[in-house]
Structure 1
Amino acid sequence: MPWKYASSGLVLVAALLAGCSTTSESSKPAESSAATELGHSRCDAAAAQFAVGKPATPALLEQARVKAGAQTARVLGPNDMITMEYRSDRLNLNTDQAATVNRVNCG
């Protein structure tokens, strides 16, 4: 009886360890294609630089988001409290007191 439990325990451990193994070459393309399928992509702030100097409007925010390839976008005022986590798929339009865009960045 104890051998039955010991052998089934060894099989279980072997199965768990096999599930944790990875291959370095084959997993990278799968990760990038999975990220693309889910819609997560990196933001390109350079593509949205056209917004600098313009008044921040919802239409400008959406146009900049699309051109930058970002999933989300937000307008940040000079005194706004913001979260500090970095998200490579988010576009930020930073504005001055007059709500004019003075900086475009991702994060």
Structure 2
Amino acid sequence: MRALALILPLALAACVEGETPPDPGKSDPPLPPETACGAPDLQHLRGQPQAVLQTMKFAGPLRIIHPGQAVTMDYNPARLNIEIDRAGLISRISCG
């Protein structure tokens, strides 16, 4: 019985995969700022009708989201998201 008590922890330890220690010479790339898509500069559009977007040009990817519309959950810091409410007004502007 004592032999089993000594062997069991060793067997369990063999099943656990250890984490690889971080490489001190390699660092993670910095995360892009939440402003990468230019959303902060467009906050003045909140409350405006969606039609105002037709007169504008956007440099990067743009996603206009209507109520109830399905959207992908992938995150793209350069993509500008503009959400439209049920009244057809711009309700939110964000990156992602």
TM-score, scaled to structure 2: 0.56
Q: CA deviation at 1:63?
A: 2.5
**Distance in 2 (alpha carbons) for counterparts of 1:64 and 1:52:** 17
1:48–1:65: 8 Å Cα contact kept in structure 2? no
**Distance in 2 (alpha carbons) for counterparts of 1:90 and 1:61:** 17
- For the pair 1:63 / 2:56, whether they are aligned, the reply is yes
- For the pair 1:106 / 2:91, whether they are aligned, the reply is no
The partner residue of 1:44 within 38, 63, 84 is: 38
Distance 1:61 1:72, change over 3 A: farther
Q: Aligned pair count?
A: 66
**Distance in 1 (alpha carbons) for counterparts of 2:81 and 2:75:** 11
Deviant stretches of 4+, over 3 Å: none
Report the counterpart of residue 84 of structure 2 in structure 1.
95
Q: CA deviation at 1:44?
A: 2.1
**Distance in 1 (alpha carbons) for counterparts of 2:49 and 2:58:** 15
1:61–1:75: 8 Å Cα contact kept in structure 2? no
Q: Aligned partner of 1:94: which letter? A: E
**Higher Cα radius of gyration:** 2
What residue ranges of structure 2 are gaps of 5+ in the alignment? 1-24, 30-35
**Distance in 1 (alpha carbons) for counterparts of 2:61 and 2:74:** 14
Name the SS of the counterpart of 1:102 in structure 2.
strand
Q: CA deviation at 1:64?
A: 6.7
Report the counterpart of residue 73 of structure 1 in structure 2.
62
What residue ranges of structure 1 are gaps of 5+ in the alignment? 1-22, 29-41
Distance 1:82 1:44, change over 3 A: same
Distance 1:93 1:80, change over 3 A: same
